[in-house]
């Protein structure tokens, strides 16, 4: 059996993720017939069927599911090898840290100060991105470490939890929910998350960051008698990494959003009320680095992050500061 090439793996992953040959071909920038031939050639080389094809749908076989996980890992490793080699050849060495702006539990300044005191510390270059991109940036070599909210895809990564904190729900200050001192998930019935799932199910493994929710046209969100225009742009169509845009949607009463408590302290706004969600799992902030990494600068950063986080944790029985 001939070894598969990276080009073949890229073709396979595109089809496996899209489960549609037309969309996969468009994503790859090639025509559909050569893509179909390439997949048949991979199946011939491996001696197994990777996809079940009908006139209506394409699904992965068990062999295809196994190959998908390994193919993603292999492609990440190839990308990481090239990037890390280029980084190692640069005249000024740096530690590249992946981060979503403002999602650091308020710890980043202290972590960077502590890291600068560590033996083997390097200048830090921030790799800023959207929610959910940080783990992949470490896997494919764009970053050497990351500070991120869980849950995240742990493939090829080691991690250490730093802090946990509650999620708060952000609502318009004059909304009925704002009159409560706290809410439960059931109180969010009638609101949706960006992917269309109900807000009353909270954030789960499908959401790596704050969840924007919009009221259903006939929903139970804002009281229609309050005079707000219910025909606001769908929050589902908004970029959930664009905080000014999200805040405006919340203020107008067309959206609610889950935020970690530390982020709400950074953005007090008179038009927005933040309320604890009693039965929502907490937000967990972690430091993440490549599995089996031996870089002294990475180890020093992890030590600094865990030291600062340990010092920031309240003593058992100490009440949290009000938000």
pLDDT tens-digit map of 15-74? 999 999 999 999 999 999 999 999 999 999 999 999 998 888 999 999 999 999 889 888
**Which residues have C-beta within 8 Å of that of residue 304, sequence separation ≥ 6?**
111, 112, 114, 115, 117, 118, 121
Percent of the chain with pLDDT over 90: 51
Q: Distance from CA of residue 254 to its chain's centroid?
A: 23
Pairwise pLDDT comparison (181 vs 210), residue with the higher score: 181
Using one digit for the tens of pLDDT, what is the confidence trace for 232-252? 434 444 444 578 888 888 888
The DSSP line for 144-209 is SEEEEESS---TTEEEEEEEEE-EEEEEETTSGGGGSS-B-GGGGTTEE-TTS-BGGG---TT-SS
pLDDT band with cut points at 50, 70 and 90 for residue 217 = very low
Using one digit for the tens of pLDDT, what is the confidence trace for 259-306? 899 999 999 999 999 999 999 999 999 999 998 888 999 999 999 999
Q: What is the average per-residue pLDDT within 218-235?
A: 37
Which pTM does this prediction carry?
Answer: 0.70
Three-state DSSP class for residue 215:
strand
Q: What is the largest CA-CA distance in the chain?
A: 70
The predicted structure's pLDDT at residue 257:
86
Using one digit for the tens of pLDDT, what is the confidence trace for 174-197? 989 899 999 999 998 877 654 456
Q: Give the residue from 142, 135, 161 showing the smallest Cα distance to 95.
A: 142
């Amino acid at each position: 059996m001939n070894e598969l090439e990276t080009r073949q793996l890229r073709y396979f992953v595109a089809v496996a993720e899209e489960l549609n040959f037309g969309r996969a071909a468009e994503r790859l920038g090639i025509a559909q017939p050569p893509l179909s031939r390439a997949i048949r050639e991979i199946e011939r080389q491996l001696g197994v069927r990777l996809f079940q094809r009908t006139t209506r749908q394409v699904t992965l076989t068990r062999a295809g599911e196994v190959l998908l996980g390994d193919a993603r890992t292999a492609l990440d490793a190839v990308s990481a090898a090239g990037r890390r080699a280029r980084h190692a050849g640069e005249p000024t060495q740096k530690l590249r840290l992946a981060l979503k702006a403002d999602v650091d539990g308020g710890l980043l300044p202290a972590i960077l100060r502590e890291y600068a005191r560590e033996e083997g510390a390097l200048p830090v270059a921030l790799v800023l991105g959207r929610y959910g991109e940080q783990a992949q940036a470490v896997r494919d070599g764009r970053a050497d470490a990351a500070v991120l909210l869980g849950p995240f895809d742990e493939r090829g990564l080691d991690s250490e939890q730093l802090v946990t904190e509650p999620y708060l729900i952000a609502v318009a200050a004059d909304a009925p929910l704002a009159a409560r001192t706290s809410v439960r998930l059931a109180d969010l019935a009638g609101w949706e998350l960006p992917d269309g799932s109900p807000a009353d199910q909270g954030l789960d493994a499908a959401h790596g960051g704050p969840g924007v929710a919009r009221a259903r046209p006939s929903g139970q969100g804002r009281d229609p008698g309050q005079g707000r225009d219910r025909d606001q742009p769908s929050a589902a169509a908004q970029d959930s990494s664009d905080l000014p845009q999200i805040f405006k949607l919340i203020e107008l009463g067309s959206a609610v959003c889950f935020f970690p408590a530390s982020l709400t302290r950074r953005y007090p706004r008179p038009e927005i009320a933040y309320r604890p969600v009693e039965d929502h799992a907490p937000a967990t902030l972690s430091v993440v680095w490549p599995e089996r990494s031996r870089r002294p600068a990475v180890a020093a950063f992890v030590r600094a992050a865990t030291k600062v986080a340990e010092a920031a944790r309240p003593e058992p029985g100490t009440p949290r500061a009000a938000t």
